Amino acid sequence: MPELPEVETIRRGLEPILVGRQIMDVVISNEKSFHGSSEDIKQFIVGSTIKNIRRRAKVLMIDLSTDYSLVLHLKMTGQIILRGAENWAGGHPNESFVDDLPNTSTRVYFVLDDGAKLFFNDQRKFGWIKLLPTITIDELEFISKLGPEPLIGHPAKEFLTRVRRRNNTTIKAAILDQSVVAGIGNIYADEALWLAKIHPETRVRDLTDSQLASILKGAITAMTTSIESGGSSMQNYVKADGSRGNYLDLFVNVFRREGLACPRCGTIIEKIRVAGRGTHICPVCQQPPKSL
């Protein structure tokens, strides 16, 4: 589930706590969740110091003093939870943020110098952590093929070039494609298309350059708002009175709001299926293409 803003929220939350800390041990309870030999773990993780935490698209990279890095993808249900003198949690928001850990969805955890533990939880086991030499990360196919970072520099021109390579598919499928633009997932795809007033089943070829630009702008707006509101973190999950909050309420207009009023025109929001994904639209603001 975690998309660019959720991963960026984790990066920003962990960086001040983890950089400079030493990793003393690694405990793996699901082999498929960790790619790296026990020999390499001993040699390049145990005893290493965390130098830096970076993000590219939805991928988190923890650079170690051994010139190796932990490359991490949370996929649908991944979470990063720190328990110790300081506590922090981000990623897929559920009760594991506050449960006793390890629990049944703990796949890997790291023991730090002061005994604090950094948990990688992942209910559906789609996520993974890879241990790789830092300099080889950019050569990985899934990294080298990525489209531009939407929140860094000026991605508009590169986005336009790449989205036009998907002229025959629907705009929703196109912006979910990580080689078109990095970091958009189901939440921000629906939010971007609502902000731009474009129906998700519109073929890319039927959109003008100006409409495509406004979709990218919508994605940037939604993502920026999400990050600035604190993203998906423990702080937004547990409210002051102990009840559970939903950080989506802080910024979404359509996502998971089927049956509720469109904030722009008041029409009831509908849920449909596009590109194999649940898709939320305002049927008035987002008119279907004539070809449908």
**Residue 18: phi, psi to the nearest 5?**
-95, -30
Catalytic status, residue 145: no
Minimum gap (Å) between residue 126 Cβ and DNA: 4
Q: What is the arrangement of strands in the sheet containing 50-56, beginning at the earlier edge strand?
A: 34-35, 128-133, 68-73, 59-64, 50-56
Q: How far apart are CA 290 and CA 292, in angstroms?
A: 5
Distances (CA, A) of 290 to 203, 284, 287: 11, 14, 9
Half-sphere exposure of 2 (CA within 13 A, CB side): 35
Catalytic site residue 2? yes
277 binds DNA (CB under 7 A): yes
100's tokens: 């006793």
3 is catalytic: yes
Is 277 noted as a catalytic residue in this protein?
Answer: yes
| Residue 77: CB minimum distance to DNA, A | 7
161 touches DNA (CB under 7 A): no
Shortest Å distance, C-beta 184 to DNA: 7
Residue choice 24, 28, 238, 248 for contact with DNA (CB under 7 A): 248
**Residue 72: enclosing H or E segment and its boundaries?**
strand 68-73
Residue 193 neighbours by CB distance under 10 Å: 29
Is residue 124 at the binding interface for DNA, with CB under 7 A as the rule? yes
Closer to DNA at the Cβ: 6 or 63? Answer: 6
Nearest CA to 191 out of 251, 260, 247, 146 is that of: 251
Q: Which stretch binds DNA (CB under 7 A): 15-23, 81-89, 166-174, 191-199?
A: 166-174
Pick 137 or 275: Cβ nearer DNA: 275
User: Which CB sits closer to DNA, 62 or 173?
Assistant: 173
Q: Does 254 bind DNA (CB under 7 A)?
A: no
Q: Does 153 bind DNA (CB under 7 A)?
A: no
The residue annotated as part of the active site, out of 21, 55, 56, 58, is 58
Q: Are 65 and 49 in contact (CB under 8 A)?
A: yes
CB of 202 to DNA, least distance (A): 12
Q: Give the residue numbers marked as catalytic.
A: 2-3, 58, 277
